[in-house]
Structure 1
């Protein structure tokens, strides 16, 4: 009898819990497509991180966070595991994973804990991308309403500053051309941008109709940037941040 108890105790200690060897997420989301082909380098890395975190079969939590041991929707879509909260030791150093449950892991407001686990450089520079600042659209529209900001391209969706951490790609001829262009048109290559002014009041537009451009931009143009959500409408059914382009929605 004593031998049997010792054997059972050893058995329970030696094998991981059922929650860690299965993917509880698929009890509700069964049939969902993998984020990438399982033989791809990216998917293998996701499985590797899941294994380091102690949940080798649950690759969902690597990006979405949540509670992999939960059996109800409310509990599953809450919090994150300790390994992600404290940080995992990897070949890239200690990295933190999801700090909570994220319906859209690509959101620029939290993706340093998701996409940024592997793509630190891209995440750091996302805030100066044209799809985030939409500076070109803003400048062009302001010009159409009377050139309210002149030739400057220093107004974006948010206050941002340039980070020169990317190596310029292209031929030597192209690089020389871009350096020359920066000197000729420095206003097109600002080091920082300021947030688009707030929409004016009716009284302000009455005094200066040109100010209506800011209402127009905010209501009609700027909702497509990667810093906000898409909509359940044709042409705008998308995620945020990285997900807006890299994750297909149907």
Structure 2
């Protein structure tokens, strides 16, 4: 009888192992109702393995990654994947093409079409290398910078699984939280400003004040001033309350201000039909805006770490890690990784800023000719110093205007003086 009972228990144990329950003996996690099925269905592995090593054989660590998602997510979410791969959150085409066009280079349909130079032989190579190794840190193929709040999942998991402190916090798929959004939208980009964050300048002296003799925490890799958050953030609205599935995944237009604020339409003098047709709401209602002017990016194939040590906080975890080696008396490798392929290559991109300010809301025009906040999104200055310390390219920057319309997420009460000045310029005041 005892032997029979033992055999039954062993049989149940093996069945539970094959059902994925054994995974959760080590990996303490909960699954949401829609994904409550064996772990091996997405992560593969060996369900009959009797040791951790055997069970992990053939494991797919990131099944939601774009390289794996058709097999793991596709059987249930084929339509979503088919739609997403055309959306800008996947292709990043608008951002990439803005830079390529500014430097006179051909446009691409997706970041995956950006050439990958093995060495810098032309000016075009310099731009492609900048994009692949310094700029494109926020895309669905990459798990983010090695900072606590910049780490995230890849593919579907980037938006739908919560990460905190650099680790997966929960295995329950969910509607994207604002924390998910801020894993990418940080560092004087739209998103950080929504919660009132404005990045400190890079030089050592600007990174004060100290807190009990120590620099403040840098969960995104750079300290920040705490400014006035957007009124919608203060009321508890998250990013996806305005930027929903249709906009983020399907590339359709997002909600307009007037979709919610219908009652203001027609009010004199600032909300008449004539004014609303010629002025974006944010032109009057932005309380502050981040302006980074003069971004000087220099590629050094043989970096002088001593010369740059006052600027070791470069908003780049890979560069900062090499500075830490230098401070310990070691010689850094002087490499940076291609964020698309994961392959390292010689050379380090250093960043300096001419000016970083938040006080002034600068106005210009958007594509429809409406008055809009603008900032120097393309105020890029590229240089290249080769391994022999020869300056091959010096201060190459786009011709023409570098200002582009933006939507500072710093909404508050309208600035009356700014609003009146706008109406005067447009001839809408008597």
CA RMSD of aligned residues (A): 3.0
Asked if structure 1 preserves the Cα contact closer than 8 Å seen for 2:16 and 2:22, the reply is: no
What is the deviation of 1:217?
Answer: 0.8
1:186 match: none
2:47 aligned counterpart, secondary structure: coil
Shift of 1:246: 0.9
Alpha-carbon distance in 2 for matches of 1:117, 1:78? 23
Which of residues 154, 157, 164 in structure 1 aligns to 2:108?
154
Q: Matches of 1:200 and 1:66 in 2, distance apart? A: 35
1:71 Cα deviation (Å)?
3.5
Deviation at 1:154, TM superposition (A): 3.4
Relative to structure 1, the CA distance from residue 215 to residue 21 in structure 2 (aligned partners, 3 Å threshold; closer, same or farther) is closer
**TM-score calculated relative to the size of structure 1:** 0.54
Matched residue, 1:139: 97
CA distance in 2 between counterparts of 1:35 and 1:236 reads 24
The answer on whether the counterparts of 1:64 and 1:104 sit within 8 Å (CA) in structure 2 is yes
Please say if residues 143 and 154 of structure 2, whose CA atoms lie closer than 8 Å, have aligned partners that are also in contact: yes
Distance in 1 separating the partners of 2:75 and 2:137: 28
2:161 alignment counterpart: 247
| TM-score in terms of structure 2 length | 0.33
Match of 1:67 among 21, 43, 46: 46
Task: Give, in whole Å, the separation in 2 of the partners of 1:65 and 1:25.
Answer: 12
Instruction: Give 1:87-236 correspondences, 5 Å limit.
Output: 101-145=59-103, 147-149=104-106, 153-158=107-112, 195-199=113-117, 201-205=119-123, 211-236=125-150
CA contact 1:227–1:241 (8 Å) conserved in 2? yes
CA distance in 2, matches of 1:227, 1:131: 11
Which blocks of at least 5 consecutive residues in structure 2 are unaligned? Answer: 165-430
CA contact (8 A) 1:200 1:212 kept: no
Report deviation, 1:77: 0.9
Q: Tell me by how many angstroms 1:27 deviates.
A: 2.5
Distance 1:16 1:72, change over 3 A: closer
8 Å contact kept, 1:200–1:215: no
Deviation at 1:135, TM superposition (A): 0.6
After TM superposition, where is structure 1 displaced by more than 6 Å over at least 4 residues in a row?
Answer: none
How far is the alpha carbon of 1:200 from its aligned partner? 7.2
Report if the CA contact (8 A) 2:62-2:68 is conserved: no
Q: Once the 2 structures are TM-superposed, how far is the Cα of residue 106 of structure 1 from its aligned partner?
A: 0.5
Please tell me whether the aligned partners of residues 119 and 125 of structure 2 are also in contact (alpha carbons under 8 angstroms).
no
Q: 1:201 to 1:114 in 2, by over 3 A?
A: closer
1:182-219 Cα deviation digits (max 9, x unpaired): xxxxxxxxxxxxx11233744423xxxx6522121111
Q: Secondary structure at the match of 1:223?
A: coil
Tell me if the contact between 1:24 and 1:71 (Cα under 8 Å) persists in the aligned partners.
Answer: no
Q: 1:106·1:115 contact (CA, 8 Å) conserved in 2?
A: yes
Decide whether aligned partners of structure 1 residues 201 and 68 sit closer, same or farther in structure 2, where only a CA change above 3 A counts.
closer
SS of the residue aligned with 1:128? coil
User: In proportion to residue count, which structure has more strand?
Assistant: 2
Equivalent pairs counted in the alignment come to: 159
For the 8 Å contact 1:134–1:222, the answer to whether it is kept is no
Q: 1:77 to 1:230 in 2, by over 3 A?
A: farther
1:102/1:218 Cα in 2 relative to 1: closer, same or farther (>3 Å)? same
